[in-house]
Structures are given as C-alpha cells and as structure tokens.
C-alpha cells in the first residue's frame, strides 16, 4: 500500500479534511495520514510515496528531513530543494523575463551588517547607494518588504524618502526590496495545484482578514480572467511549485503579479471560506493521489520547474517546455477544476501613484 502523508503545524481544518478526503476516494491501494517522525537517518526513507509539506518553511529540522525523504524517492509537495533556493526578488525577475507584469522592484541591502562581517566584507557595495535613481524607479508611495519569506512580516508602506530611511533603519539584518505601489481596481488571489488546476478567487486585501474573500463586484471582463489564468500557469510551470497561490492587482486593465511565492498558502476554512476550502481540499487530494499512482521507487519523484529544466539542458529560458512524467487526470476533473471562480472582486478605482520629488541628498546604509 502506498502512503500519502501531510506535514503541518498549527493549522487543523485543512490537514484533517485532506486526510479524510484522500481516504474516501483513493481506494484500497493508497492511504493518507499525518506524518509521524521519531528518527531520521541519512538516506533512509520515511515510507511515504507523497508528503504534502505545510510547515518546513518555519522548521529547519523538517526541511532537512524532507530533503532526505526526497532523495530516497518521496514526492514532496513542494520540492524542498527549490523552495530552499527560491525567493521573492528572483520570482519578480523571472516574471519579467516571462512577460508577466510585476511592480517595479529594487533590491535593498540590510541596514545592519550580517553577523561575522565587517566593512571590508562590503568592498563592492557603493557608499552611499544611488538612492535618487532607486526612488525615481519605484516612485512613492511604495512598499518595502523582505526579499524572501512571507506572512506579511516586516511589510511597510512608505510615503516618501524620509519615511523609507526611518523604516529601513528598523529592519536590522533583513535584506529588503522596495516595490512600486499598484493602486488597483480589482484584486484576485489564485490557487494553483499541480501546475494545472487553477482557482481564481475574489479577494479584497483592504478588508478585515475574515472578510477578504467576500466581495460582490463582478469581474471587469472574461478576457482579464483568461489572462490571469494563463499567467498563473506560466509562473507555476517555470517555478515548479505543486501547491502555490498567486495574487494579482489589476491597474488600468493590466493584472500585475504581486505575490507568487506562497508554497504553503493559507487553506484554513475560517479564512478562505467554505467554497474555496472545498475546492482546495478536493483538488489537493486528487493531485496527491495522482502523484502517488505515478510514484516510482528508486527515482527522483520531485517536480522541477522549467527554469531549472531549461538551465540543466542548456536551453534558452523560454524554450519549448520539457515533457512532464506525471499522469494525466480525468478530463472531467480537469475541466471542472481548471474553470475560473464564478465570483471575483472589483474594488473602487483609486487615484494614480504620484512619484516623489527628486532626492537632493541620499542617506547611506548603516555600516
């Protein structure tokens, strides 16, 4: 019997519903359970064909254990090697190369020096940075956030250069990025599972947390939904994530990918709502079963994105995609799950972003 495990932290509704759903529909040859770890020895398996990872981003021990499981043949969702290497600034750069619109974004060095470094460690860093050009590039208002990570930690809305230098001085050793504000007319949050199943959800990030999926305004056009759907698939195909969310802010009819590095996205029923919860539980269960059936002992069963595949093959970034080995789902299930959500959000149009006045004197990053 093949086993599917789920590794999780504080969340409860999704892991419990996922295990129950898999065991309802998988048949006698596949069973799902909560992962149990009592020891980890090098190159010894955990005895799971598939593991859904929901917590290793916060627990380094789990990340190491999942890499060990992967090298013994477990299909880990998501690929722990790629997730360890990935970060939001790279995601934006990749999106630009793929033709997916993203906000103008600049990488900002940490305010404090990393441990075990000195001024000599930064011989190649200009002092001061060219702040005037950076601020002209992103404009103000702007957002400053960590170049990796998530959960809305250390995210600042900045109104001018003085605000930037004040908030940047509070970020300690965190490498940040400064990002253009997209004042949006509509906003969408999209699940993507298996690089092929997409759920476009209505979303209003300016609402209280428990009301962010409750917006009644219809979408502006079917063409916009189709564009968003295609962008979601393209980004996840190249990144190689099996379970991710992508957020889009729509300005003047153009969907800008705001956040698409969420490999353990929120799936709790109390926040995403019953309809979205049912979709993500059913689709994740179906996909995990698909991966378990396709699992082959003694080989790499991870998903690798087209960015890695083209690089390894010496091909251009946007070369013809390399064929995948995953089994094809039932046509009816694909048609049902790939359809966009019936209700999507439209927010009131806000005033356009104004650029800040030229900076007369730039402040240095603290050394």
Q: Are residues 289 and 211 in the same domain?
A: yes
Q: What does pLDDT average to over the chain? A: 89
- Where a domain ends, among 180, 199, 225? 180
Which candidate, 367, 359, 353, places its Cα nearest to that of 164? 359
pLDDT of 323 reads 54
Domain that holds residue 52: 2-84
CATH assignment of the domain containing 123: 3.30.1490.20
Q: Are residues 74 and 190 in the same domain?
A: no
- 78-110 pLDDT, tens digit per residue, is 999 999 999 999 999 999 999 999 999 999 999
DSSP alpha helix (H) spans, the chain: 13-25, 60-71, 80-85, 88-98, 131-138, 161-168, 222-239, 269-272, 274-294, 306-312, 331-337
Q: Are residues 65 and 175 in the same domain?
A: no
Residue 362 domain-assigned (yes or no): no
Q: Are residues 208 and 323 in the same domain?
A: yes
Mean pLDDT, to the nearest integer, of 239-243? 98
Q: Are residues 144 and 287 in the same domain?
A: no
pLDDT of 154 reads 87
pLDDT higher than 90, residue 336: no
CATH assignment of the domain containing 61: 3.40.50.20
Q: Domains in the chain: how many in total?
A: 3
* Predicted TM-score of the model (pTM): 0.85
């Amino acid at each position: 019997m093949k086993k599917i495990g789920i590794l999780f932290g504080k969340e409860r509704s999704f892991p419990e519903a996922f295990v129950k759903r898999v065991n309802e529909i998988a048949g006698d040859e596949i069973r799902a359970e909560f992962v149990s770890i009592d020891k980890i020895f090098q190159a010894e398996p955990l005895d799971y064909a598939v593991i859904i990872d929901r917590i290793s981003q916060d627990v380094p021990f789990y990340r190491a254990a999942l890499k060990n499981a992967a090298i013994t043949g477990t299909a880990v969702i998501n690929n722990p090697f790629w997730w360890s290497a990935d970060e939001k600034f790279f995601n934006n750069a990749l999106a630009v190369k793929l033709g997916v619109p993203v906000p103008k974004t600049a990488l900002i060095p940490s305010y404090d020096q990393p441990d075990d470094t000195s001024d000599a460690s930064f011989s190649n860093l200009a002092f001061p940075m060219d702040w005037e050009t950076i601020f002209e590039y992103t404009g103000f208002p702007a957002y400053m956030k960590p170049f990796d990570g998530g959960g809305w930690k250390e995210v600042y809305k900045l109104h001018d250069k003085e605000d930037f230098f004040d908030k940047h001085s509070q970020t300690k050793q965190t490498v940040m990025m400064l990002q253009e504000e997209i004042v949006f007319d509509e906003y969408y949050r999209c699940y993507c599972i298996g690089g092929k199943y997409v759920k476009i959800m209505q979303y209003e990030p300016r609402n209280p947390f428990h009301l962010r999926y409750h917006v009644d305004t219809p979408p502006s056009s079917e063409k916009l939904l189709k564009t968003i759907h295609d962008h979601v698939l393209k980004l996840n195909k190249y990144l190689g994530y099996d379970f991710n969310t992508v957020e889009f802010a729509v300005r003047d009819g153009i969907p800008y990918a705001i956040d698409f590095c969420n490999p353990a996205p929120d799936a709790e029923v109390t926040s995403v709502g019953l309809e979205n919860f049912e979709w993500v539980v059913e689709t994740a269960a179906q996909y995990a079963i698909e991966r378990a059936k396709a699992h082959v002992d003694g080989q790499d069963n991870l998903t690798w994105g087209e960015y890695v595949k083209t690089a390894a093959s010496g091909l251009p970034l946007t070369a013809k995609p390399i064929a995948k080995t995953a089994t094809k789902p039932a046509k009816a299930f694909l048609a049902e799950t790939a359809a966009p959500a019936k209700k999507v959000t439209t927010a009131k149009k806000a005033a356009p972003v104004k650029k800040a006045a030229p900076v007369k004197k730039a402040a240095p990053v603290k050394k």
